[in-house]
Structure 1
Amino acid sequence: MELEPSHSGKAEISASQQHNVIMHNEMVEEFKEEPIKVKQEFSFSQYAKNTGNRKSLEEPSVSNRRTKTIYTPLEEQYMEIKKQHVDTVLCVECGYKYRFFGEDAEIAAKELNITCHLDHNFMTASIPTHRLFVHVRRLVSQGYKVGVVKQTETTAIKASSANKSSLFSRQLHALYTKSTLVGEDVNPLLKLGDLEQAEDVVQDSGNNYLMCVSESFDKQSKELTVGMVVVQPSIGDVMVDCFKDNMSHSELESRILRIQPVEILVPSDLSETTERLLRNIALSSVQADDRIRIEKRESAMFEYPTALSIIKDFYRGGPHSAARNHEKGSYSICMGLESPIICCLGPVIQYLTEFKLEKILLCSSSFKRLSSDPDHMLLSAATMKNLEILCNQTTGSVKGSLLWVLDHTQTLFGKRLLRKWVSQPLKSVIDIQARQEAVAEILSSESSVLPSIQSLLTRLPDLERGLCSIYHKRCSTQEFYLIISSLSRLNVELQALMPAIQSQLSSPLLKTLLLDTPQLLSPAHNFLKVLNEKAAKTGNKTEMFVDLTDFPVIRKTKEEIESVLLDIMEHRREVRLLLKNPSLDYTTVSGQQFLIEVKNSMLSIVPADWVKISSTKVFGRYHTPFIVEKHRRLQQLREQLVIDCNHEWINFLQLFGDHYYILRKAVCHLATMDCLFSLAQVAKENNYCRPEVLEEKSQILITAGKHPVITSLMGDQDQYVPNDTHLQGDGKRAMIITGPNMGGKSSYIRQVALVTIMAQLGSFVPAREASVGIVDGIYVRMGASDNISRGRSTFMEELLETSDVLACATSRSLVILDELGRGTSTHDGIAIAYATLESFIREVRCMTLFVTHYPPLCELEHLYPQHVGNYHMAFLLNEPESTSDEEEAQPEFITFLYQLIEGAAARSYGLNVARLAEIPESILRTAAFKSKELEALVNSRRYVGRLVTQWKKNTVVILYCGGTSFRTNF
């Protein structure tokens, strides 16, 4: 533990200290009335201008509670580091604990529920060193940037230096935010006493993506272009995108909802519309730890020349040049990216460099495209939300989503890959059929190979995240050994299964994955064999390597230590002769080594220059001057050994990092196997069928299809009513669905979309039979709600979403519109719904499911009998006796059958829903009477209209003109 020296007010004050006192007094006077600022519900953190919730450099970032004339050396050291990291909560290592100061201490006290008190000039709080990873994660989850400041000097080495009486030197060791939780300080594997239990640790399974967004508006063409770079530093994913967006920013919103980043990097001059969108998304979660962290940076960093200069330095002249031999084309690949992407990549490189995680961007050939992807179906933001693809709309959790139904993966890296599969269904028939064949073989194979491989995947640690941690050189010895031993074990066991894989499997995908993986895993064993297992599991880097041939620095230091120990042991002979005790040996008490115990009765023969260490009633314990000197030297060498071993450990991780991309490919193969096993398990448990997937035909033919999520939620009850679907691009491609409220219309149309998505991601589907033509995109417009924060009414929201669908849908798309037009008057709503549906039928020519309560829309079946069909959800109607008395009128009672049948429903029977909602009986009677009254009036008007029309067609009028008669028909 380090002491913090303090000074009296009478001490002589240096010039720098006088400056600090003046500055401190000014700051206290200026801010004494300002309340302490803590983390707000939402803020844009800005590196340069710091317009968020933290005070700027000129406004001290530390909270003082009383005026002192002198800062302690530790406080001055803290203030110096804080000036460089104003927007960061700093944890400062002080012996056996980490301390917070000033405003950081008050934040820590609030978020960590610990005590905060005044100590010298600043408020302070502290946490134990062994609980650092817990508290850092808690602060980061609340949206803070956290810095860990560590001591850079050791006790023995400092004691032998010229500045031995000065303060321990400290520097920022690591920074952490929501997207950059990589390293020993935040890895729970470090904190386990038993490494064998490490596989059971709940680790970060979420997608901790960092997204960088830039935008440019062309005033002439009035087009908004958005550039995007998405990085997941913890597992190595990098994605880029460039796209045109509309006034509602639906394209940007779609990508954010699909990726679900935890942190977004934006320029300080972000447009008001985009800033409002990000704010709405960031605040959409009730829990603070689920909210997106927004980091606002200088807009100059997003300008093309500046960003390009950063990229050039990184790929051509930066510190990673030597590590870039395997990817010499990275710079040229980056130069081929669109300028909006360049404007994002530069700031991302600079940002990750602050966290020492920039290496993940070295291999630009692994960058993936988010949009304009010919291989994947497009799912819009509204589609992802309304179909509940990744999470349900009620609580935001995974349960109740399509992902929840399909996810039976056993590994965290498999879980992440399946999430990508679900949000990006395939468009290639060959790839879809390859997955289907693999799933079918897993289901039908009687070979013991596949069960053996599935068992290998159980209880595996997060290999993908572990490899990335090693690549960043931020892993502990425990984590490294866990990852490398797991990879080596997988290699050995897969090698043993090779003959059976060759002879017993027929699926090309399964054989490719399983036969390639052992070769990719081969480097792991070479690294494992040089490690001392016991030392690796306990974190003892000084005994880490079995053979020191390749580590001459460590060998030399260890030899010096052995030499000093030998000298101390030889010195024992002299002590024995002096004390006339041939059996005397050194003892160790309370960590003090090489103690010489002398009975109190023999103290007269103890030399005067011996140093007394401790004593009891019987013994005195001493060090000779020789032992004092040698012990001091031994402590220095031991601390130097720790330094040398840490250095060699980093070099060792660097060598392992050269195999990162090969091993990552092997883990990707294992993740694919995990996903295929998951799809097979779902198909088996729910008796799904294998759908036929067609390249050329545009069709969705489903026999006895079910909603996968609702069926799973119902469990063993199995009461879901199956329904058929017949949509064909060259035939009946539009279904107009009517029927009573709560009759199952919305569930049915969602069911059709979800079955289509499942078919194209390679899964079996909940149906008796299914045939699906490749769909290039699914567009869903459902629900009705306003958006006050964007200044949009309910109807405006409806029309904006519909406009996006009209702009994006093609003849190979599936469009689902639920009650379009209900946000305005009946006449306007019918007009817009009618015109929109007719456009999809006649112009877009896509497959369409249109749910409506407007009877006039059903007339489109008569206009386009080849392409449109009317359907409704069946029900049983129990009509009460008719009466003219309002007091005795009763609403109808209906029984839902949830069966889709042909024909249009005459009414929606909303009063039945009112009864289910427990509206008072008196109101129901009045509503029933008025409903019958209005219905009679409308029917009479229609009847009169039909009579007039018929009369005009059939009536013959005789006109007399000049004695001549003329006959004409009206």
Structure 2
Amino acid sequence: MAQYTPMIQQYLSIKAQYPDAFLFFRLGDFYEMFFSDAEKASEELEITLTSRDGGKERVPMCGVPYHSAHTYVEKLIEKGYKVAICEQVENPAAAKGVVKREVVRVITPGTIMEENMLVDQENNFLVTITGSGSTVALAAVDLSTGECHVTELDGSGNFVLDEIASYQPKEVVLDELLTQEKNLIHKVQTRIKALQTLFTYSRSDTETEQELASQFPDFAQVCTTPLLKRVLGILVTYLQQTQKRSLSHLQRLRRYDARQYMMLDDAAKRNLELTVTLGEGKKRGSLLWLLDRTATAMGSRLLKRWLDKPLLNMEKIYERQEVVEAFIADFLLLDDVKDYLKQVYDLERLAARISFGSANARDLNALKRSLQVIPRLKEKLILTSCPRLQQLGEEMDACPDITELIEQAIVDEPPVSVKEGGMIREGYDQKLDEYHSIQKDGKTWITQLEQRERAATGIKSLKVGYNRVFGYYIEITKSNLRLLPEGRYQRKQTLANAERFVTAELKEREQLILTAAEKSVDLEYELFTQVREQVSNQVNRIQSLAERVAELDVLHAFAIIARQYQYVRPALHSGDRIFIEAGRHPVVEAVSDDETFIANDAELDATKRQILLITGPNMAGKSTYMRQVALITILSQIGSFVPARQAEVAIVDRIFTRIGAADDLIGGRSTFMVEMAETCHALKEATPRSLILLDEVGRGTSTYDGMALAHAIVEYIHDHIGCKTLFSTHYHELTELEDKLDRLVNIHAHCIERNGKVVFLHRMMPGGADRSYGIHVAELAGLPQPVIERAKELLSELEGRLQQAASASPGQLSLFDWGPPQEKVVVKEVGLSEEEKQALEAIRSWDLLNKTPFESIQLLFELQQKLK
């Protein structure tokens, strides 16, 4: 270190404490970075890289202005980095040697508090995990709202990954103990797209319990196991080390059992487009987009959490349904509540900023205006006949004392800054009023002085002015200097066309005015922080109110959607039957403009209709039908009404989906490997109460492999799992399974052929389909007409060859089962002679599975000619 200058030595010693963060090192009006931080930051932020004398050598350096640093911090956080803010903590004028500096906060993707860096409708979760053996403990916190959740999970399978992913965390903190669980660590690192930190936790059990008991009022009742205490201890310690300030708003600790909610893994959420669309990953077009008619940001965030975790508890679902029904039945109530909710700001984040010490006077006024709405909202709710609405109204604390405090202390239109005055209302503090009076009287005195001096000198252009450098002055143009009485003024500044002067009287008054102004600004800030602290002491009340307003907001949104699209209240039960009459896909219906959505029935149960095998052409609506059954089930279990004429829904514990084609390049998995992995996950984790959606399983490999896998999967679900399943396929041979599996039923997407064109009716009908109309769909997609015509010729040629083979040797048809000609040929062993058996062995040696269907048909045709 001795080879560097004292300032660089200080930088290096602080940087060593934060090796994984960019160190924003305050130097005057800039935050500077040095060495590798500077080189990397110059690339990431696209700013100029310079250098500075470091003692022995010049060291790389770059910097950003402190007044616009938030812009650069935001860019680094968005890229997944940490930023340590290092400030000067002593007055440079009083410093002996290098000014003392300390890191005052480390900003990370999971600890953002800045309003401009947060998305109003989304939580910003940080997740910590620890574990031992087969049990993993998880804690999730949103520092910007003050909510904290803990749970223990089965560490086997993908259960932990699904639960972490449900929070869509911006940051994951891993206990160093987990390094022994290499498989879990690897899965987290590859599956969870968030900043990841390996954390060393060294506090004793006693220290942990004392710390957490002081942070969370109900810690002892919530964290009853060593793992829960440890994971929460890691979380709080990490937040303390990064934020370096009070976390008093972090009081809402909730323990939950993940098994008490419907489990939806990443594949299910993605394929069903619950929160974002498949193609562009945008909210528009998702189920969340359709349902989000909330009036508040906290309501929007709660709606997303409800979608991520549908309920299994029918009593709670009924409670939500009752509220939705009450709103639908009373249009005036629906309208009034909407008007009130629109006036409520984001109470959760306001409370967090107030407690965190980052709120300004405008935030306090936003809180005041929100609280002023609550009494009228309470009155509306209490007068309803719905028990839950009444309860919500009674539980809403309007916090009149907080409203009164803010009203007395803060002006109606305060400035953004809290350190420039102008925030505190007149009459709130006597001393401040005196300072303001001095300033006001001083301005009057200045005006009077200008008038007196003009009269005394006869100079009408004389003026009294002020600037921050020279203070108050009397300005006289050079042409009028001759009119000045001798010795009346003291010269202060010379300008090109004027001279500026002062008098002893003006100096004295200036000192009085400026001292009062300076003291009033300091006192205003002190008074404001006192008010903010008083409000901060009541943050638990504000957070409790926010929870109830958010719940009301979501249920109100459900009612708006239900009225607009004529949704019905579903009947839920603990049995095994799902019956949907005239069901619709909620999102497709909403974006269909004036087109009428074709509704379809669905019936599934464990005794006769466990598996629906769906066949039919592409573009005929099979995937839409499958998804709408799943979405209606999810809507039912979050307490919403559903798009149907009538719905009876059995509680489902998990929904699995295998829909669409996508590879995993980062994970080194092909499209077919992803397909098989998702199918495997469903087969291993599903229970008899689950719902599985499988679309075109097996299409990513050869025809024979794919059909064999599809066949085996259907049998396994039927014989070993017993859960309700929608299975869509183009392997029409599988329709024969209806005769072999007593709980499998064929249905198909109906279409008609008219004048050589296929008309899709989007109607699900009983029975299986025998054609896929693939060439017709290719034509609709716009393939060149020569390609379409040639494909039709080849298809006709294949069909002709098969028919020729069948008619040429009818006695040998026991050897070959010529299924739908454009699909495949299946070899069957049925009453073969010795010669035929030898021929069959020859067929197997040809490795037909690696040949195209057309090549296989040619080989089999040649063999049949020989056998004939």
Q: TM-score surpassing 0.5? A: yes
Offset, 1:587: 4.5
Matched residue, 2:766 = 902
Residues 77 and 109 in structure 2, CA contact (< 8 A), matched pair in contact too: yes
Matched residue, 1:767 = 644
Matches within 5 A, 1:564-583: none
Matches within 5 A, 1:593-612: 593-595=471-473, 605=487, 612=492
2:365 to 464, 481, 489: 481
Distance 1:604 1:951 in 2: 136
**5+ unaligned residues in a row in structure 1: which ranges?**
1-18, 24-69, 190-201, 283-291, 880-891, 953-970
Q: What is the DSSP-based 3-state SS (H/G/I as helix, E as strand, rest coil) of the residue aligned with 1:372?
A: helix
Give deviations 1:616-638, integer Å, cap 9, x for gaps.
Answer: 7664424759958x978987886
Offset, 1:239: 1.7
Q: Mark the CA change 1:766 to 1:444 in structure 2 (over 3 Å): closer, same or farther.
A: same
Matches within 5 A, 1:501-580: 501-503=381-383, 505-517=384-396, 519-534=397-412, 536-540=414-418, 542=421, 544-546=423-425
Distance 1:809 1:547 in 2: 67
Bigger shift: residues 399-408 or 853-862: 853-862
Offset, 1:902: 1.0
Q: Mark the CA change 1:377 to 1:567 in structure 2 (over 3 Å): closer, same or farther.
A: closer
Q: Mark the CA change 1:877 to 1:942 in structure 2 (over 3 Å): closer, same or farther.
A: farther
2:569 to 672, 679, 690: 690
Offset, 1:415: 0.8
Residues 228 and 241 in structure 1, CA contact (< 8 A), matched pair in contact too: yes
Q: Mark the CA change 1:583 to 1:145 in structure 2 (over 3 Å): closer, same or farther.
A: farther
Q: What is the DSSP-based 3-state SS (H/G/I as helix, E as strand, rest coil) of the residue aligned with 1:181?
A: coil
Matched, 1:140 2:140: no
2:141 to 231, 256, 262: 231
Distance 2:251 2:116 in 1: 31
**5+ unaligned residues in a row in structure 2: which ranges?**
819-827, 833-868
Q: What is the DSSP-based 3-state SS (H/G/I as helix, E as strand, rest coil) of the residue aligned with 2:759?
A: strand
Q: What is the letter of the counterpart of residue 365 of structure 2? A: Y
Matched residue, 2:356 = 472
1:175 to 90, 96, 106: 106
Q: Mark the CA change 1:611 to 1:929 in structure 2 (over 3 Å): closer, same or farther.
A: same
Matched, 1:214 2:96: no
Q: Mark the CA change 1:126 to 1:679 in structure 2 (over 3 Å): closer, same or farther.
A: same
Q: Mark the CA change 1:420 to 1:847 in structure 2 (over 3 Å): closer, same or farther.
A: same
Q: Mark the CA change 1:421 to 1:489 in structure 2 (over 3 Å): closer, same or farther.
A: same
Matched, 1:312 2:221: no
Q: What is the letter of the counterpart of residue 485 of structure 1? A: K
Residues 561 and 634 in structure 1, CA contact (< 8 A), matched pair in contact too: no
Offset, 1:769: 1.7
Give deviations 1:422-471, integer Å, cap 9, x for gaps.
Answer: 22222233322332232233223143x43222112226432221111112
Distance 1:643 1:168 in 2: 24
Matched residue, 2:838 = none
Matched, 1:933 2:801: yes
Q: Mark the CA change 1:337 to 1:589 in structure 2 (over 3 Å): closer, same or farther.
A: same
Give the paired residue count: 802
Matches within 5 A, 1:16-415: 20=2, 22-23=3-4, 81-91=14-24, 104=37, 109-115=42-48, 117-118=50-51, 121=58, 127=64, 130-152=67-89, 170-182=101-113, 186-188=114-116, 204-216=120-132, 218=133, 223=134, 225-246=135-156, 250-267=158-175, 270=179, 273-274=183-184, 276-281=186-191, 292-298=193-199, 300-301=200-201, 306=203, 308=205, 311-312=208-209, 314-315=211-212, 321=214, 328-330=217-219, 332-333=220-221, 335-339=223-227, 341-356=228-243, 360=247, 366-369=253-256, 371-373=258-260, 376-415=261-300
Residues 586 and 594 in structure 1, CA contact (< 8 A), matched pair in contact too: no
Q: What is the DSSP-based 3-state SS (H/G/I as helix, E as strand, rest coil) of the residue aligned with 1:366?
A: strand
Offset, 1:827: 4.6
Offset, 1:272: 5.5
Give deviations 1:85-117, integer Å, cap 9, x for gaps.
Answer: 443334455666655556555555544555555
Residues 706 and 721 in structure 1, CA contact (< 8 A), matched pair in contact too: yes
Offset, 1:544: 4.2
2:578 to 687, 700, 707: 700
Q: What is the DSSP-based 3-state SS (H/G/I as helix, E as strand, rest coil) of the residue aligned with 1:212?
A: strand
Distance 2:661 2:610 in 1: 25
Q: What is the letter of the counterpart of residue 146 of structure 2? A: G
Offset, 1:535: 7.0
Q: Mark the CA change 1:652 to 1:83 in structure 2 (over 3 Å): closer, same or farther.
A: farther
Offset, 1:699: 1.3
Residues 618 and 777 in structure 2, CA contact (< 8 A), matched pair in contact too: yes
Q: Mark the CA change 1:899 to 1:667 in structure 2 (over 3 Å): closer, same or farther.
A: same
Q: What is the letter of the counterpart of residue 178 of structure 1? A: P
Give deviations 1:724-776, integer Å, cap 9, x for gaps.
Answer: 11112344222111223333222211111111111221222222221112222
Distance 1:128 1:534 in 2: 32
Distance 2:452 2:330 in 1: 81
Give deviations 1:491-543, integer Å, cap 9, x for gaps.
Answer: 35336xx2x5444x2222222223432x3443431322331315744545656
Bigger shift: residues 232-241 or 807-816: 807-816
Offset, 1:204: 3.8
Q: What is the letter of the counterpart of residue 376 of structure 2? A: E
Matched residue, 2:551 = 672
Q: What is the DSSP-based 3-state SS (H/G/I as helix, E as strand, rest coil) of the residue aligned with 1:367?
A: strand
Q: Mark the CA change 1:623 to 1:730 in structure 2 (over 3 Å): closer, same or farther.
A: farther
Bigger shift: residues 117-126 or 911-920: 117-126
Residues 707 and 747 in structure 1, CA contact (< 8 A), matched pair in contact too: yes
Distance 2:586 2:241 in 1: 45
Q: What is the letter of the counterpart of residue 137 of structure 2? A: G
Distance 2:632 2:487 in 1: 94
Distance 2:440 2:746 in 1: 94
Matched, 1:418 2:306: no
Give deviations 1:292-327, integer Å, cap 9, x for gaps.
Answer: 4423234x32xxx647466235235xxxx5xx6xx5
Residues 696 and 773 in structure 1, CA contact (< 8 A), matched pair in contact too: yes
Distance 1:835 1:729 in 2: 19
Residues 615 and 621 in structure 1, CA contact (< 8 A), matched pair in contact too: no
Q: What is the letter of the counterpart of residue 398 of structure 1? A: K
Offset, 1:180: 1.9
Q: Mark the CA change 1:731 to 1:645 in structure 2 (over 3 Å): closer, same or farther.
A: same
2:631 to 735, 749, 754: 754
1:621 to 495, 501, 516: 501
Distance 2:207 2:703 in 1: 58
Residues 212 and 264 in structure 1, CA contact (< 8 A), matched pair in contact too: yes
Residues 523 and 659 in structure 1, CA contact (< 8 A), matched pair in contact too: no
Bigger shift: residues 650-659 or 821-830: 821-830
Offset, 1:787: 4.0
Q: Mark the CA change 1:99 to 1:460 in structure 2 (over 3 Å): closer, same or farther.
A: farther
Q: What is the DSSP-based 3-state SS (H/G/I as helix, E as strand, rest coil) of the residue aligned with 1:530?
A: helix
Q: What is the DSSP-based 3-state SS (H/G/I as helix, E as strand, rest coil) of the residue aligned with 1:395?
A: coil
Distance 1:767 1:579 in 2: 86
Matched residue, 1:721 = 598
Matched, 1:437 2:345: no
Distance 2:18 2:521 in 1: 29
Offset, 1:405: 1.6
Residues 732 and 868 in structure 1, CA contact (< 8 A), matched pair in contact too: yes
Distance 1:673 1:227 in 2: 31
Q: What is the DSSP-based 3-state SS (H/G/I as helix, E as strand, rest coil) of the residue aligned with 1:226?
A: strand
